[in-house]
Each structure stands twice: as C-alpha cells, then as structure tokens.
Structure 1
Amino acid sequence: MHNGQGVRQLAELGLALLLSSLIGWERAAQQKSAGLRTHTLVGIASALMMEVSQHGFTAVLGLQNVSFDPSRVAAQIVSGIGFIGGGLIFVRRDAVRGLTTAATIWLTAAVGMACGGGLPILALAVTALHFLVVRGYPLFTSRLIPETAATGFEARLTYRTGAALLPRLMETCTRRGFRIVQVKVERLPGRADDAARVLLGLEGAEDPTVLASELFHEEGVLDVEVSAAADDE
C-alpha cells in the first residue's frame, strides 16, 4: 500500500478508535446522551478526514498551477462538529444541560484529528487530561466549593383522595425549602382505598430524607419515595 494508505495510516486510525472509545465509554458509564458509539464514530471520522487532508490530494500536487492548503479540512471539522454538539445541549427546568457531553464531542474530534495528523503523543495526552478533568475535577471542587446549589429531586407519593391532601403535601415541600417544578397526578383504579399517586419535581438544597419523613407522617399518605432527578451534563 502507498499514497497515504499504509501501515502508519491504519495505525493512526486504530489509535483514534481506541482513544475515542475510551472517552465514549466514560460518557456511557455516566449514562449521558452521547455515549460509546457516538464518540467513537466522531473520533474515527475526524482521523480519516485528517488523513484525506494530508494524503488525499498528492496526485494533483505535481500539476501546474495547482496548490491547496491542507489545514482547510481541519478547519471544516471544527466547524462541522458544532452541529453535533449543539444538538446535545438543551434546557430543562430553567437549567442548561448537556454542555459537558457537547464539550467531549469537540474534544473527541480533536483527538481524532491529532491521530490522523500523525500526533499520537498529543492525542494520548489530551485523552488522559479528559479523564482527569471529567472524573477528577468533581472530587477536587467538592472539597473546595461548598455544596449550596439547588439539587433536583423527585418525590413519588401514594395517598388517599377526597381530603384535599395534595395542597398540604405541596405546602410541606415549600415550607421545607424546596421549589416545586413539576406536579403529575395519576389515579390508581381498582384500589379499595381510592388512592392516587403524585410525582412532584422538586429543587432545593435541604436534606430530602427529612422531607420524605415528614410527608410520610401526614395522615392519608400511604407511601413516599424520594430520589435524585436524572441529570444530563
């Protein structure tokens, strides 16, 4: 094989496969919207485009009045990958989600470009830095920055209807310092106690276990379950 299609180029594509898969595995382990396959495909595609940028035009370089700038392909990768990253960012409950995952898509593209551009040491270094930032920084910042930001919770309650209990339950939540961002009530037909189930989306910095205990001791409440709301970075 020749003309940019040799063992070195295949090795660079293989390195892009390995490193982008590692980044995608970390995102998949965190159950993010873009996981193993997305990151791997972005990394491989970026590496291939860099190979094309370097070796795909050698046949015309010797022709008279023909010149080109290989860096233009890299610039188009940087611009084009923004469409994927933009599709991962959305707003939920007045908060922006998906920024970290979108950033890793950009980083994976850069790693793939480095592999395709013949810079394996830089690709390895950036992949290692990715794991340092994504996995290590939360542990580091949690010790330096007090956890005072509001956290999302979901409270699922089963209660007896007919006693205007739901407004009292919601008042308890707000009195405990939680903001109610979602209310979803579901009837439970077939039960002898005429019960209903409500899902309350809550935000606050207080201890949710204390709230769960107080809600459970309200007369007419049959069951309470409080859990952290799903969070997409």
Structure 2
Amino acid sequence: MDTELLLRIALAGGLGALIGLERQLRAKEAGLRTHILVCIGSAMFMIVSKYGFADLLANGHNIALDPSRISAQVVSGIGFLGAGTIMLNKQMVRGLTTAAGLWVTAAIGLIVGSGMYAIGIFGTLMTLVVLEGIRQLSNRLIGQRYMIMLSLAPAGIDLVMQTLRKRHIRVIRSSVARNDDENKDCKMTLEVMMHARYKPAEIYSQLLAIEGMHKIDIR
C-alpha cells in the first residue's frame, strides 16, 4: 500500500511537470515548479483524505469518514493561488489561462491521489492539447492579442489606424489621451488592443516612420 501511494505522488508530480513545462516555455506567471507542487500537494491531500484516518476507524472510534471533505477544500483553496496569477493591466486581463491550468492541475493531483491513473493521464494529455494545440489553432484563425502604446502627434493617429487596416489587423479597442494641453505641439498617447496573425514587431518600422511618432511600446 505504501509503495503504491508513493507512486501516486510521483506520477502526480510528473503529470504536473508536463503542464508546468508548457507554461514555463510560454514565460507565464506560474511555471514548472508551481504546477509540480500543486499536483503533488493535491495528490497528498487526496491520499490523506482517503487513508489518513484508517487507524482511528480500526480502533472503533465512533466517527464517520468522509473522504470528499479535504478534496473539496482543495478545489476551493486553489482559487486563491489562481487569483495570484491574474493581473489587470490597462484594462487588459492576463493570466486567466494559467489560473485555469493550476485549477486543472489540482484536479489531476486529486484524481491520481485517489488511484484513477488512466483518467489522470488522459486529463493531462487533454490539458496539453488545449494549452498548445488550441492556442496554435486560435492564433491561425484570429491571431494573438497584443497591446500597442504609441506616443505621437495628433495628426499621426489616423495614419496609424490606416496602417493597421492595410495589414489586416483587427482592432479590438483603441483610446486616445492628451499628454500636454498647453503645448500646441502636444503629444498624444494612443492605446490599441488588437488581434494579429503575426507579431506586431513586424510593422514596427512602418509605425515608426509615421511623421510625429515619438515612441512605440508593444506588449
């Protein structure tokens, strides 16, 4: 029994590593070590939930065993860790996929800890398909989401939008803010959220060539 439980923890760590490696390669907020720890911890919680009170039951204590109680706390508790990977920057939310990945990784740990190895392995493969395969499909169909911040003269704003349209870039949202109301040659800050099928760095030189352009920041 003890050997099998050790194997469950090792398998959970290995499956968590597969998901964490994909996140690490994408330079996401939670990477390899985080996913391994989440999966191992979930497996151990499930093991103690199922087998940790066998001595009390064997001694005839008048208690009722509910193996789902600890695992249920893992499901709710992992939300706090996932929330730490979500960031709001300039009204643009990042980290939701990583948070969902941590949530799924916790589920895989619980499943492996309960002894359902095939389901845990299949769940890991499906997670990797979603994280990598669906990502590539989405990028080909609608492109990746980017945020571009430009500091430029007011006359250049229309030229920026025309350049993006010519390159078939879909603009999701744009906003303009004035930097200096008193200066006639004031600079404007243009924020553009968009979907592009290639990195916007490829149009960096075109945007920089626009008259009155001062600064470009691509995120």
TM-score class, shorter: 0.7 to 0.9
Pair 1:118 & 2:91 matched: no
Secondary structure at 2:28 match in 1: coil
Pair 1:97 & 2:94 matched: yes
Are 2:160 and 2:207, in contact at CA under 8 Å, matched by a contact in 1?
no
Shift of 1:33: 0.5
Pair 1:108 & 2:105 matched: yes
Instruction: Label 1:47 to 1:214 Cα distance change in 2 as closer, same or farther (>3 A).
Output: closer
Q: Name the count of aligned residue pairs.
A: 201
Corresponding residue number in structure 2 for 1:40: 36
Tell me the amino acid that sits aligned with residue 148 of structure 2. Answer: F
Identity of aligned residues (%): 35
Within the candidate set 23, 41, 54, 1:58 is matched to 54
The equivalences for 1:164-203 within 5 A come to 166-170=153-157, 172-174=159-161, 176=163, 201-203=191-193
Are 1:49 and 1:73, in contact at CA under 8 Å, matched by a contact in 2?
yes
Tell me the amino acid that sits aligned with residue 19 of structure 1. Answer: L
- Between structure 1 and structure 2, the one with the greater Rg is 1
Instruction: Label 1:67 to 1:170 Cα distance change in 2 as closer, same or farther (>3 A).
Output: same
* Whole-Å separation in 2 of the counterparts to 1:102 and 1:71: 23
String of CA shifts for 1:4-45, please: whole Å, max 9, x gaps: 5x1101111100111101110100111111111111110111
Q: Which structure's residues are more often helix, by fraction?
A: 2
Corresponding residue number in structure 2 for 1:153: 148
Shift of 1:86: 1.7
Pair 1:73 & 2:63 matched: no
Tell me the amino acid that sits aligned with residue 131 of structure 1. Answer: L
Shift of 1:154: 4.9
Shift of 1:88: 1.7
Q: Which runs of 5+ in 1 are unaligned?
A: 158-164, 186-197
TM-score (norm 2): 0.75
TM-score (norm 1): 0.71
* Whole-Å separation in 1 of the counterparts to 2:46 and 2:13: 14
Secondary structure at 2:62 match in 1: coil
* Whole-Å separation in 2 of the counterparts to 1:121 and 1:41: 21
Tell me the amino acid that sits aligned with residue 83 of structure 2. Answer: G
Within the candidate set 199, 206, 214, 1:213 is matched to 206
String of CA shifts for 1:154-202, please: whole Å, max 9, x gaps: 55x8xxxxxxx7444445335546766588x9xxxxxxxxxxxx99653
The Cα RMSD (Å) is: 3.3
Are 2:19 and 2:32, in contact at CA under 8 Å, matched by a contact in 1?
yes
String of CA shifts for 1:105-137, please: whole Å, max 9, x gaps: 001001111111111111100000011111111
Within the candidate set 117, 124, 127, 1:127 is matched to 124
Shift of 1:92: 2.3
Instruction: Label 1:182 to 1:110 Cα distance change in 2 as closer, same or farther (>3 A).
Output: farther
